Structure formats: structure tokens, C-alpha cells
Amino acid sequence: MRLQDAESHYRFLRMSRETFDALVAKVAPALKRRSYQSVYRPEISPGERLALTLRYLATGNSQVSVSFSFRVGRATVCHIIRETCAALWQVLQPEYVKGPSSEEDWKGIAREFSKLWNFPNCVGAIDGKHISIQAPASSGSSYYNYKGGHSVVLMAVCDAHYRFIFVDIGNSGRHSDGGVLSNSEFGRALDAGKLGLPSPTTLPGTAIEVPFAFVGDEAFPLQRNMLRPYPGRNLADPEAVFNYRLSRSRRVIENSFGILAARWRLFRRPIIASPDHVVLFTQAAIALHNYLRTTESTVYCPRGFSDAEDGAGNVTEGAWRSEVDGDNGLSRIGSVGSNMYSRSAATCRDTIRDYFMSSEGEVTWQYHHIHRTEY
């Protein structure tokens, strides 16, 4: 495949030969700490260890199946996957999964959301998923979630280009309420005002200042720096327009999770591993996702693979949806916050609602979508 069949090589390892070789060069130093050489067998090279791990993440097959495919002992496969996933996170995370470190970084994310999704002062889309796992030994109900299975929780924030900028992995599945957000490092930093978000700035074309904020669905609490939809049905036009505009931006995180599960099929069924190992596997897959979104985006996520919009806001669903339809490896979390909110949080949401109804902030097709008429 390396020499004669580039397409099969990509399908086998989820990356081109050139990208694979570049990745081997990056992780090889971290993989040379342990040698599997003995008098009875040759050394397993860093490239072979990486290929074995990528194949495991790409297929989601059992480690026993991988051991037969690569003709490596089952225990050796377990060690290789665990150590290679740790090496991938160690090497790739500082460069490809790093959160914004300055106000200008946050403003850059906000500019992309405004440019691509017409939502000003948005610094990320947030969502959470249950990663389905086999019931851990002697864990009782610690990882048992309200959906009737066992899981660990993945909380993530992404930018406008489907790249994860914050991830929090490992909360046990039983935390399906406000504890998920408040117990995460991101949630604590948000509450304490330690994310380094820029000061409030004016909405485009106006003198009205509003804070920078993340967008989430109805599972998340309404805060000054966290926006969620207006509740209820049969809403008036201003609230319906706000919900429509927010849903367009929030769709980014939905696509990020969908692309992740479609490319790394480990997440399309319950993972047979301890929770600690599941965290390692998830970290590696997210690091690889961001690495490939950055280095060979058009191959990893070609045109039509993610959701797309035309000039009238009509959505064409991405191909990833047909690939992961019916899978139960990643499922939605429940409410992660109460419905209580401050007056200042409500004022921020109302201000943006009114802006979307003004000539400076509206998009021409928004009324047709909330009334479901032709445009």
C-alpha cells in the first residue's frame, strides 16, 4: 500500500504515507524508551508500533483481533497501544490541542465564528458526550449512566474549523447533571474567570458591548460567557431567530464529534478497556484529529464529509452522519447545569437577540428558516 496504493494506505491508517512518515519522526523518540527486542524476536520499530495503534483506533476492533492481524502477542499489543497513545498525546497536544493563550488568540477564534457562522463574539462551541465502555471490574455504579450503560464523559470545546481547543476526559458516567461541567477543569476556569477571555467588545456596526461567550445547547447553563437557546416552542420571531443563529454555530461541535467518530471507529461501539486506558485512547484520537485537520484537512475531511451550507443557509448534511448513524459509542450527555441564571446573563442573551433582529446583525435568510418558507 505504501508503494502502490495510496488510497488503501489512507483507508488503512487514516493518513497519507507522507503524513504517516512525518508523524513517525515526531513520536519515535518517545517510543524508543522501551524495546520489545529479545533473542527470540526482532525489535518492533516505532513505525510498526504507530501503525498498529492507528489501526486499532481506526477500526475499533478488539486488541485480540489486532494481535492476529499484526502477528504480535496479545499482551504486547496492549502495551504498544497504551504507550503509543500516551506518546501521541505527549508529542501532539502542546502544538495541536492547546487552548488559546492570549486575548488575541481568543479574538482570532471569534473572528472565524463571525466570518463562517455569523455569530459575533463567539469563542467556541461546547458539548459533551458519553464514551461507552465495558463495565469496569468492581466499579459498582460509578460509571453507570442514566442511559443504562457504562461510560466516561468527554467534555470538549471546538473552534470554527472543527478543531478541539479544550477537552476534559474521564468523569464517570454517573455524573449526568451539573457536576459534569463544574467538576471539569474548563468549567472551574470559566467560573473563576481564569480562561483569559478578552474584555467585552462592541457588536459589529454598533456601540453595544457584550462579553465573549461560548455557545451550547439546552443542556448547558446560561451564563455571561455561556449562551444557550431560549426554551419552549412557538417562540416569537426574535427568540426563534436567536435560536436559529445559535444552532448554526453550535453545529460545529456536533460535526467535530461526528468526524471524530467516523474516522476513529473506536468510538462507534463500547470500548473494552479500563477507564484509564479509555482516557489515553481518547486523548490520542483527539490529538490525531486536530493534527490531521491541520496538516491534511482536505483529505481527512473532504468536501461533503461535514455539514455544508449554501448562500441561503440551506444545510446539506455531511457524509459522516450516514457512517455513524445508529452507533452507540458516543451519546449525548444530560443536563450539565441548572436553569437558574443571573440577570446579567439574561441581558447578554437578549442584547444579542435584538442585534440579530437589526439591520446590522441580521442575515437575509433567517426569517425564511424560522417560518420554513422558500428563499
Same domain for 179 and 84: no
- What mean pLDDT is reported for the chain? 90
Rg (CA), the chain: 22
Q: Which residues constitute the domain of residue 176?
A: 103-371
Mean pLDDT of 223-251: 95
Q: Tell whether the model's pLDDT for residue 169 goes beyond 70.
A: yes
Q: Are residues 83 and 128 in the same domain?
A: no
Same domain, 321 and 289: yes
Domain termination site, one of 41, 69, 96: 96
Q: Distance (Å, rounded) from C-alpha 157 to C-alpha 123?
A: 9
Cβ pair 50, 31 in contact under 8 A: yes
358 in the same domain as 310:
yes
Residue 306 pLDDT > 70: yes
The pLDDT of residue 249 is above 50? yes
Extract long-range pairs of 24-27: CB within 8 Å, 24+ residues apart: 24/50, 26/91, 26/92, 27/84, 27/87, 27/88, 27/91
Grid cell at residue 73: 502477542
Indicate whether 118 and 91 sit together in one domain. Answer: no
Overall average pLDDT of the 118-133 stretch: 94
pLDDT digits (tens, 9 = 90+) for 341-368: 889 999 999 999 999 999 999 999 999 9
Instruction: Looking at the structure, tell me whether residues 35 and 121 fall in a common domain.
Output: no
Q: Is residue 110 part of a domain?
A: yes
This prediction's pTM:
0.93
Per-residue pLDDT reduced to its tens digit, 30-45: 987 555 555 556 788 9
Residues 208 and 183 in one domain: yes
Indicate whether 213 belongs to any domain. Answer: yes
pLDDT at residue 177, as a whole number: 47
Residue 1 domain flag: no
| Same structural domain, 276 and 327 | yes
Burial 196-218 (b: 16+ CB within 10 A, else e): ebbeeeebeeeebebbbbbbbbe
The angle subtended at Cα 163 by Cα 48 and Cα 336, nearest 5°, is 110
The domain tally of the chain equals 2
Q: Are residues 110 and 23 in the same domain?
A: no
Q: Report whether 220 contacts 341 (CB < 8 A).
A: no
In this predicted model, what pLDDT tens digit does every residue of 260-284 receive, in sequence order?
999 999 999 999 999 999 999 999 9
In a domain, 127, yes or no: yes
Helical segments of 44-102, H only: 46-59, 63-70, 74-96
